[in-house]
Structure 1
Amino acid sequence: MTAEAGASTNPDADVVTTADAEGVRTITLNRPASYNALSVALKERLLAELTAAARDDDVRAVVLTGAGAAFCAGQDLKEHVNLLLADDPAPLRTVSEHYNPIATAIATMPKPIIAAVNGSAAGAGAAFAYAADLRIASSSANFVMAFAGVGLGSDSGASWTLQRLVGYGRALELMLLGRKVHAEEAARIGLVSEVVDDGEVVSRAQQVAAQLAAGPGVAYRKIKETLAAASGSTFTEALAAEEAAQAELGATADHREAVDAFVNKRKPTFSGQ
């Protein structure tokens, strides 16, 4: 559902909204009163919107953000505890049914995806940001690995993504202590690529996303694939993956356009093919 669509009789229909411009789809978690805590309805809608964005050829880059004062507070603990007290098995299935598929959809998005972190990102909310390709944060943003504080381990891929961003030792510290990492430190340790003033983070992320949307989409996808493969391969295997990617990319319309533009001293116009 898009932000411009008409009102729905479903009270959960707008827990995630989308808007498109310049080849960029902005996906917004939209439960600001609860700091975009992850209810079942929000998780299901977010997965559907990420899947739709991945499949839509008109979408060439994605921005993920939150409405209001927070990016995402993580699991909706009020809903969670009520289900536990009712002996509902749903909370025990949410990792396999929701968090793993959402994190996978973000990490394997076949086009660039940017997390515009506009406030607190905690637990699974932080993990979703870690799974994105780029993270741009507002000056008031912060990240908290809150899992241990509620007697849980990490989920949503944080054990894999966080240590690749900041190193094993730092990741272990942040998970064990659950301390808050503010935007300035996040930039210093490589957790985010850029910090901007409050109120500008979404527009800045959309600006970067629009730049990427106008670029060689197939090349971006292959760059993401080869980097992901190389993180768990030998050097020789990484070389082979790069060779295969270059062979495929050399036959694309985008590569031919880029070469022709270079020779003729003009700006290339990429089709994403």
Structure 2
Amino acid sequence: MAEEFSYLQFRVEDKVGIITLNRPDKLNAISWELAEELSGLLHRLRFHDEVCTILLNGAGRSFCSGADVNFICGESERPIPGTSDPSRPIPRSQRKTPGGPFFEVTRQLVAVDKPVIVAIQGHAVGAGLAYSIACDRRFGDTTTKMAAIFTNIGVAPDCGLSYFLPRIVGFSNALMMVETAKVFKAEECKALGLLDELVPEGQAFAAAFEYAKLLAQRASVAVDMARRMIHMSQVSTLEEILDYEGHAGVAVASTLDAKEGTLSFLEKRKPVYRGM
């Protein structure tokens, strides 16, 4: 994929699509333009079979310091319903989804239909926290600080944080986080479940990349469908999931990797998966 970006860096290595938020001077605060680039790239990556896993990270000393306050306050060139002058024209699409591409990033982190791993150093707060907990697995280093800081600036949680946070840290802890906006250090983040893996300073990307490569070498259709099942289970009944597992199982069984996986097991050898 040969694409040029203004606020992202992107490359593919060992079947891992590496996306880097690239506003280090702003601690990778999410601007409207960055959100458009990121949500658009995630949407396209769903259809690129050479990318089996996605690794999200940030340039510089922080993963993401949240949404750009210039947009949130309503004073930027792009109006926002609620804070901008009501007389300013707002696109119809944004009237229906006030967060525009900011919200679309979260939607595409799930809809990309491939594992998304995130490497965190420094801050992952506000929208940065929301995006990180929407990912499949979070690797942080000892500099990591995470917080649902929304109420500190008088706004409510967004970007899907209200959906993912209680599922990860529990109902009571989620309430505490959004009500107090407390900043948690790395060890506290690990204890809460906000981080899945905690590594020494400067090692988050390397550890996350090794994990992403491991997933990319597996039977990718089976992995992607398994991921989809887990997401669906969050909003489905047991009967619905059993039906879906049956249909998905037939689809996955038709792949070349399923044939290779079963034969290699019977032949007592390591499988060679092709992602097909």
Instruction: Decide: shared fold, TM above 0.5.
Output: yes
2:206 aligned residue: 203
Q: Write the deviation string for residues 36-68 of structure 1: whole angstroms up to 9, x where unpaired.
A: 011112111111221222221111100011111
> 1:14 and 1:161, CA in 2 relative to 1: closer, same or farther beyond 3 A?
same
Match of 1:38 in 2: 30
Structure 2 residue matching 1:20: 3-state secondary structure: strand
CA distance in 2, matches of 1:77, 1:175: 18
Does 1:78 find its partner at 2:78?
A: no
What CA distance in whole angstroms lies between the structure 2 residues aligned with 1:154 and 1:167?
A: 16
| Alignment deviations for residues 163-192 of structure 1 (CA, whole Å, 9 cap, x no partner) | 111111111110111001222122222222
Q: Is the 8 A contact 1:28 1:66 kept in 2?
A: yes
Are residues 1:152 and 2:144 paired?
no
1:48 aligned residue: 40
Question: Aligned residue for 1:162?
Answer: 165
**In structure 2, C-alpha distance between the alignment counterparts of 1:213 and 1:17, rounded to whole Å:** 20
Structure 1 contact 123–144 (Cα < 8 Å) conserved: yes
Q: Quick one: distance in 1 between partners of 2:170 and 2:136? A: 17
1:209 aligned partner, one-letter code: A
Q: CA deviation at 1:160?
A: 0.6
Going from structure 1 to structure 2, the CA distance change for 1:2 and 1:162 (only over 3 Å counts) comes to farther
Deviations 1:138-178 (A, max 9, x none): 11111110111122111111111111111111111101110
TM-score, structure 1 length as denominator?
Answer: 0.90
Within the alignment, does 1:181 sit opposite 2:173 as a pair?
A: no
**CA offset at residue 251 of structure 1?**
2.1
Shift in Å, 1:76 = 1.0
Q: Which is further off, 41-50 or 126-135? A: 41-50
- Please list the CA deviations of residues 63-85 of structure 1 after superposition, one character each: whole Å capped at 9, or x if unmatched: 01111111111111135433269
In terms of mean alpha carbon deviation, does 236-245 or 16-25 score higher? 236-245
- For residues 156 and 271 of structure 1, do their structure 2 counterparts lie closer, same or farther at Cα, with a shift above 3 Å needed? same
Please give the alpha-carbon distance, in whole angstroms, between the structure 2 residues aligned to 1:65 and 1:147: 22
Q: Does residue 212 of structure 1 match 2:204?
A: no
Aligned 8 A contact 2:138 2:194 in 1: yes
More divergent stretch after superposition (180-189 vs 53-62): 180-189
- Matched-pair contact (CA < 8 Å) for 1:36–1:67: yes
Check the 8 A contact 2:32/2:102 in 1, yes or no.
Answer: no
Task: Find the counterpart in structure 2 of residue 138 from structure 1.
Answer: 141
Structure 2 distance, partners of 1:247, 1:30, is 41
Partner of 1:9: none
Q: What is aligned with 1:261?
A: 264
Which residue of structure 1 lines up, in the alignment, with residue 127 of structure 2?
124
Distance 1:86 1:222 in 2: 42
Aligned to 1:243: 246
Amino acid at match of 1:113: V
Alignment RMSD, CA only? 2.1
Which residue, out of 6, 11, 15, partners 1:14?
A: 6
CA-to-aligned-CA distance 1:81-138 (integer Å, 9 cap, x gap):
3326974566976744212211010022211110111110111111000111111111
Partner SS state of residue 17, structure 2:
strand
Residue 75 of structure 1 aligns with an amino acid whose one-letter code is A
Matched residues in 1 for 2:34 and 2:256: separation?
Answer: 39
Asked if 1 retains the 8 angstrom alpha-carbon contact of 2:120 and 2:144, the reply is yes
Q: Tell me which residue corresponds to 2:56.
A: 64
Aligned partner of 1:8 in structure 2 is none
Q: Say if 2:43 and 2:111, in contact at 8 Å, map to a contact too.
A: no
Report the identity percentage.
31
SS in 2 for 1:70: coil
The answer to whether structure 1 residue 105 and structure 2 residue 97 are counterparts is: no
- CA deviations 1:246-270 (Å, max 9, x no partner) are 2222222111101111112211111
